[in-house]
Structure 1
Amino acid sequence: MSGVARVARVGTASRRRRLRRRHPPPYVIGLTGSIGMGKTTVAQMLRWLGVPVHDADAAVHRLMGRGGAAVAAVGAAFPGVVCAGAVDRARLGARVFEDRAALRRLEAILHPLVRAAARDFLRRAARRRHPVAVLDIPLLFETGGEALCDTVWVVSAPAFVQRARVLMRAGMTPARFAAIAAKQIPDVQKRRRADVVIRTGLSKRHTWRQVHSAVNRARRCARRLRNTALR
């Protein structure tokens, strides 16, 4: 390596260190849970506590909405699903819901874009000096999203509570619920892989206490990591 190249590399590394000190990355919580477990409620509680939350489902909606980055690719892969510049989610769902090959094609388009959106969110959180940030990803384990996280929280509830919640949703049927659940890692396996389990089967007050306590622990971890990084 030439002397100029060596100096350039050292200079770049120095700039990166200064940037990390100026905008240290947040401590990243991966939030996940099967359908009907109460993940949306927990995400809202996190926002109330001042923690920024990246909603992967909302990111997908933006990607497939009018002018979204995924519209052209999805339209090419699934002719007839784009209407007025946006992906018609009902038409797309009918094409992929029971077709594994079609679902894999869709995931190959969406997952890289969703990961890029998550990384952009984390960079913004760092610039805004948030010590903790949350990636709310329903299929966190299924898509390998835990690689972006420092800790993983799984939201869980008893099976009978989950079923009752889901079947209260408009348009939901037992058969559709079973089909959705079959595509997700079972709750018991998620809990085994979790660092924190938030249980939502009792009252919202009980859930709130768990979330508040877990956020405080996460903030302490974030402080320790930042102090270590600055040494």
Structure 2
Amino acid sequence: MTGDQPCIVGLTGSIAMGKSTVAAMFADAGVPVFDADAEVRRMQGPGGSLVPEIEAAFPGSTGHEGVRRDALGAMVFGDPDALARLEAIVHPAVAKAREQFLARHAAEPMVVFDIPLLFEKTGAETVDKVVVVSAPAEVQRERVLSRPGMTEEKFAQILSLQMPDADKRARADYVIDTGTTLADTAAQVQALVDKLRADLRD
């Protein structure tokens, strides 16, 4: 962290651990949140800036609604080379959007970067503090398999690409437990925000 930018809190967690819910709680507590996934959806939506480049690389993957996520997903699922080509398009665009977000919130004491694959792809050294969102494995499994179109095979594939939850917790500066009530999770988030703000004032 440098003196001319906020403390950057990296928020991460495995699939269905409740990361989006916790990100919204940080926002409710007055902390600006950069949601990488939401940014990608915007850039891949109708008229999105990435749509022409993705169509050129993956013909038939877009339409009037922007990127057809199912079609594109089928083209890259289980194909590391195709996934790498897609990431080479998406990641630089997200990095630029993140820089613009930081510039807009330069006067804030802290901001949150919501990064699903913080440890796997981005690198924890890119943030000042790491918050991992976690829940018991059986809660995670129940949440995942209740999602439309989710199968045991897809869940296993996703888990194989993600660092195990126990490893993430071990590397975290702070852990938010979402295997409890929403009110309790929100209280954990508010307490953490209060602590970080106090630390930054010291």
Normalising by structure 2, we get a TM-score of 0.93
CA change 1:176–1:85 in 2 (3 A) is closer
Q: 1:32 aligned to 2:12? A: yes
Aligned match of 1:199: 177
Aligned match of 2:145: 167
Percent same amino acid at aligned positions?
52
CA contact (8 A) 1:26 1:132 kept: yes
2:65 and 2:29 map into 1 onto residues whose CA distance is 37
- Tell me which of 99, 119, 127 is aligned to 2:99: 119
Normalising by structure 1, we get a TM-score of 0.82
- Tell me which of 21, 46, 53 is aligned to 1:41: 21
Aligned match of 1:177: 155
Q: Which runs of 5+ in 2 are unaligned?
A: none
SS at match of 1:141: helix
2:53 and 2:86 map into 1 onto residues whose CA distance is 9
- Tell me which of 131, 134, 154 is aligned to 2:112: 134
CA change 1:123–1:148 in 2 (3 A) is farther
Q: Which runs of 5+ in 1 are unaligned?
A: 1-19, 225-231
1:145 and 1:133 map into 2 onto residues whose CA distance is 17
Q: CA RMSD in A?
A: 1.7
- Correspondence list, 1:53-202, <5 A: 53-84=33-64, 86-126=66-106, 129-202=107-180
2:30 and 2:69 map into 1 onto residues whose CA distance is 32
Asked which structure has the greater CA Rg, the reply is: 1
Bigger mean CA deviation after superposition, 51-60 or 81-90 = 81-90
Specify the code of the residue in structure 2 equivalent to 1:158.
P
2:182 and 2:68 map into 1 onto residues whose CA distance is 35
2:72 and 2:53 map into 1 onto residues whose CA distance is 13
1:155 and 1:67 map into 2 onto residues whose CA distance is 33
